Amino acid sequence: MKVYNSHEIKNIALLGSKGAGKTTLAEAMLYECGVIKRRGSVDAGNTVTDYFPVEKEYGYSVFPTVFYAEFLNKKLNVIDCPGADDFVGGAITALSITDTGVIVIDSQYGVEVGTQNIFRTAEKLNKPVLFAMNQLDGEKADYDNSIEQLREAFGNKVVQVQYPLACGASFNSMIDVLLMKMYSWGPDGGVPTISDIPESEMPRALELHQALVEAAAENDETLMDKFFEQGSLTEDEMREGIRKGLVTRSIFPVFCVSALRDMGVRRMMEFLGNVVPFVNDMPLPITAEAEEVAPDPNGPVSLYVFKTTVEPHIGEVYYFKVMSGTLKEGDDLQNMNRGSRERMAQLFCVSGQIRTKVDQLVAGDIGASVKLKDVRTGNTLNEKGCEYVYDLVQYPAPKYQRAIRPVNEADAEKLSEILTRMHEEDPTWEVVQSKELKQTIVSGQGEFHLRTLKWRIENNDKLPIEFVETRIPYRETITKAARADYRHKKQSGGAGQFGEVHLIVEPYYEGMPAPDTYKFGNQEYRMNVRDTQTIDLEWGGKLVVVNSIVGGAIDARFIPAIIKGLMDRIEQGPLTGSYARDVRVCIYDGKMHPVDSNEISFRLAARNAFSEAFKAAGPKILEPVYDVEVLVPSDKMGDVMSDLQGRRAIIMGMTSEKGFEKLQAKVPLKEMASYSTALSSLTGGRSSFTMKFASYELVPGDVQDKLLKAYEAEEKEE
């Protein structure tokens, strides 16, 4: 295989909503450039890019898959991305690594929520975008309406390069207003017939050609001057103007294809090869230390690992982008994240499972390697003396979580190892061993995301598992002051146990004055503060312990044991066993025994005294509340809002955004457990949402009563 230089390499992400036809388009591209001799299909489960068993089982893409096409003496590295919102991490990875996004539109449905989300990600990453209007041969295809939706959503930068003469079953020809030619195909697609534009289409073609010329000229002063002088541009000048417009995101070209029938695919690939930016046309990537790195083949060797997979009969496969230098087979590199050394014994260019061995890869190129010792997704590998470290991919926060456990408890350690490995393959699967909830929590982007995880563990690793409802990390606190005392006394022959603690609890807030006098019933308790300790709790809030013991009622050496007893109950709150927070405890009296008093006695006395006082201090349960933002089609707004209100949501605002409604609300985490599934069901998969922790708030009284009863029942069972 030829070694391609940076100015001959183009990196492209194939993006779009679920069902838009990205994988089918990838097959057509591979076929057109000769990588495969026969096109596979998603239904048959024999496509190049959907080759994992779980993808064949479900019939949709789960992982971003790299393939390459040698076309017009250039190398196109393409990443076919999953379309479902549950697998958005793959699309974010691909856009972060590549230079241009091709967003595939299903012309039967036009702009969908997934289209909006992908475009927003490309905008955030400042990546060029072009649209491929697909499925023009579909029964409900409506090109003109889809163009109108694109313009409404993304503005007048949307410019048509082609338009079809007809949609639906009769689609077999289109007008290209860049080349000013008509392309036609036979029933089987493939190589087109290129002819002059019919007279009947000339007025529309000229109008769109003029709009394209103007859009191209706007991106270069020289071209603009020439356009004003001559009223037109040559084909090469238009290409140059469009390329510059793509880089600055001032033009979004639209192409027409039927991926299934291989119509328009070769023409779009010609545009990708001739017009879209090369690696060295794009803004330079920046290291974690804000240093720009040029794709210089003569620079220091530096690469970024953006994906790892585990494949049968091979083991781990590592996908990387060469950021700088020329990587050669046998190079020794330093892992900047893990401190280990790696030998790149084998280098490959890949198309799904098809691996082509190469001797070297130049800056800007994408490749793969195997049998590395200690490499993870997101690692930077450099030659000696190079200090670059990249942090190129920022993943979204999870939206859906479940507790996971093996059917056989003896497999717990094995499950932990599998989950660690699978997080490496897809970092949007997050795994946490929760000490607080006493569960292993797996988080992802939606129910289908976690269902895919379960399928792979049970079918690939042969380990039966089950998902159970995730416990909610409630917090406990108090609303008023209360006092209690407790004597721990135990005699069982020989030295016994004795410790007595008197204390007062009250709500803590920042800046509250030192304690002075408390009154309970007819009795006053005056505090003589000797010492104050403030403990910042890992889960938020504080425990403040005030030592007001006088007259040596409790020896100072027992104070640490008393604080341990308090922490025992703070870590397992008296109401529901959840963490407690924001409590001040004043220890003002107690008793000792000259022989039987010891640390365990005072620890137990403090724990029980705190529990009694806490329950008498107007205890309240706090629940985590999240900021939720939902992007929903206008016609589904009422259904979505009604559903949210049934989840105890507080609606904070509504705005319109390019054909969709954006709904903002605060929703308790308890009510979000199955929201991704419910939202998909309500809107036919046309909505998406994000959620972010906002605060802890008091639960309503009826909810608190249910929680207390449930905890009591659980305690009795144990």
pLDDT at 560 over 70: yes
SS3 205: helix
Residue keyed to tokens 């929590």: 441
Residues sharing a CB contact under 8 Å with residue 504, sequence separation 6 or more, in sequence order = 481, 482, 483, 515, 518, 525, 585, 586, 588, 613
HSE of 511, CA atoms in CB hemisphere, 13 A? 0
pLDDT at 225 over 80: no
Separation in Å, CA 582 to CA 211, 506, 514, 708: 64, 9, 15, 20
Mean pLDDT of 404-429: 92
Q: What is the pLDDT of residues 668-702, one digit of tens each?
A: 999 998 898 899 889 877 788 889 999 999 999 99
What torsion do the CA atoms of 322, 426, 81, 391 make, to the nearest 10 degrees?
-40
| Residue-level pLDDT at 493 | 67
What torsion do the CA atoms of 49, 53, 59, 63 make, to the nearest 10 degrees?
-50
Interatomic CA distance for residues 505 and 526, integer angstroms: 14
Nearest to 453 by CA among 432, 437, 469, 467: 467
In the chain the domains, ranked by start, together with CATH numbers, are 6-209+251-281 (3.40.50.300), 302-382 (2.40.30.10), 407-471 (3.30.70.870), 479-618 (3.30.230.10), 621-703 (3.30.70.240)
Mean pLDDT of 121-129: 94
Residue 532 bridge partners (DSSP): 546
The amino acid at residue 491 is Q
Report percent pLDDT > 70 for the chain: 99
| Residue-level pLDDT at 85 | 84
The amino acid at residue 397 is A
Residue keyed to tokens 């109950």: 569
Question: Phi-psi region for residue 57, left (φ > 0), alpha (ψ -120 to 50) or beta?
Answer: alpha
Phi, psi dihedrals of residue 698, rounded to the nearest 5°? -65, 135
Q: What is the pLDDT of residues 61-84, one digit of tens each?
A: 888 999 999 998 999 999 999 988
pLDDT category of residue 718 using cuts at 50, 70 and 90: low
Q: What is the pLDDT of residues 472-509, one digit of tens each?
A: 999 999 999 999 999 999 877 667 899 999 999 999 99
What torsion do the CA atoms of 694, 695, 700, 702 make, to the nearest 10 degrees?
90
Mean pLDDT of 37-55: 87
pLDDT at 226 over 90: no
Nearest to 164 by CA among 142, 179, 149: 142
The amino acid at residue 372 is L
Q: Are 659 and 119 in contact (CB under 8 A)?
A: no
DSSP per-residue codes, 284-317: PPB-TTS-B----TTS--EEEEEEEEEETTTEEE
| Residue-level pLDDT at 658 | 66
Q: Are 545 and 535 in contact (CB under 8 A)?
A: yes
Residue 527 bridge partners (DSSP): none
Separation in Å, CA 184 to CA 31, 107, 396, 443: 19, 19, 43, 49
| Residue-level pLDDT at 369 | 97
| Residue-level pLDDT at 2 | 87
Mean of the per-residue pLDDT values for the chain?
92
Q: Is 594 exposed, middle or buried (0-12, 13-18, 19+ CB in 10 A)?
A: exposed
Report percent pLDDT > 90 for the chain: 73
Mean pLDDT of 403-416: 94
Q: Are strands 360-362 and 380-382 parallel, antiparallel or unpaired?
A: unpaired
Interatomic CA distance for residues 175 and 193, integer angstroms: 12
Nearest to 626 by CA among 664, 672, 654, 666: 666
Mean pLDDT of 545-573: 94
Nearest to 398 by CA among 88, 43, 7, 34: 88
